[in-house]
Amino acid sequence: MGGTETRATRDLRETAHSAQVRELTAAGVLTDPAWLAAFAAVPRHVFVPFFWTGRGAGHERLWAEDPDPEHRARWLRGVYTDAPLATRLRDGELVSSSSQPSLMARMLDALEVRDGNNVLEIGAGTGYNAALLCHRLGEDLVTTVDLDEEITESARAHLALLGYNPAVVTGDGARGCPARGPFDRIIVTCTLPLIPASWLPQCRPGARVLAPLSTGLIALRVRDAGFAEGRFLHTSAYFVPLRGAGASPPWVAGGLPYELLENERFQFMLILTAGVLHPREALDLWRREDRPPRERFGVTVTDEGQWSWLDDPQGPYVWPLGGYAEAGPSPGGR
């Protein structure tokens, strides 16, 4: 943290870090001893030397080297709060953040890594997630990619402070990183409109891909270079959108009551079927199917196209994923 750190600050961060690990354990999101050990060993504050609070013109920057001890204490308490933190703004817009630690723990657990797995992370962010993966698997098995050179340089520096040197690559995450494959796991920390076609050929058969899609997390099992399928997890997930070749088009939902647009279950389905179902059609189906939770939805990815579906990939409710381009025949015909 630099020369301004006092004994009181050091004690506060050690206490705050330990308290966060206990809270995550008590909340039931750190049940795997290997991930518990990783969260206990990797301090978050190293990866978040500053962050912004507030909105719009009211953003306030809190940072580790602030000469005011109370401001430093506010920074540290914020770092070890179970909340996402804005770490990089551009023209007032959020372009990078440190994810909520409990969501990170859930995602890492859902990734189902095994010793020896080669992992690709899309969205380097601060480097904190990559550090947790390095602790669990070893740095040689971790690759993290981000489009922005400032972000990758910062992540690389943060990782090096703790002695971790995974492959930190500046590039378009939608293209993956074929030079570091084949991968056993891909974990994504930015919201996608669909699964980039280049990822599957970079995976070993049986690989698992965990990615934010709509407002949920899709867990895909890769069969081969041309096919993957899976269901959404029950948890919600909100991330900064992917930038680059796979960026999301805008979506508009008009004519619906505000309270419906604020309903998480309906919002998830509305975004997932955007461009295919009109908002009123989505609402009718959502009500008819008893307001289905995320786990009832899934995704199929083939070399012919991508689809989301409700309950059954060969059932009556199948939609082109993204809805903005031709997706080919439905998976039921495959």
* Positions marked active-site: 99
Please state, in angstroms and rounded to a whole number, the distance separating the CA atoms of residues 105 and 225.
29
Please state, in angstroms and rounded to a whole number, the distance separating the CA atoms of residues 77 and 64.
11
**Which amino acid, residue 331?**
P
Cβ(170)–Cβ(123) under 8 Å?
no
Q: Hunting for tokens 């993956």 — which residue is that?
A: 176
Find, among 161, 158, 210, 148, the residue nearest to 184 by Cα.
210
**Which amino acid, residue 231?**
R
Please state, in angstroms and rounded to a whole number, the distance separating the CA atoms of residues 300 and 271.
17
Please state, in angstroms and rounded to a whole number, the distance separating the CA atoms of residues 230 and 211.
11
Cβ(307)–Cβ(318) under 8 Å?
yes
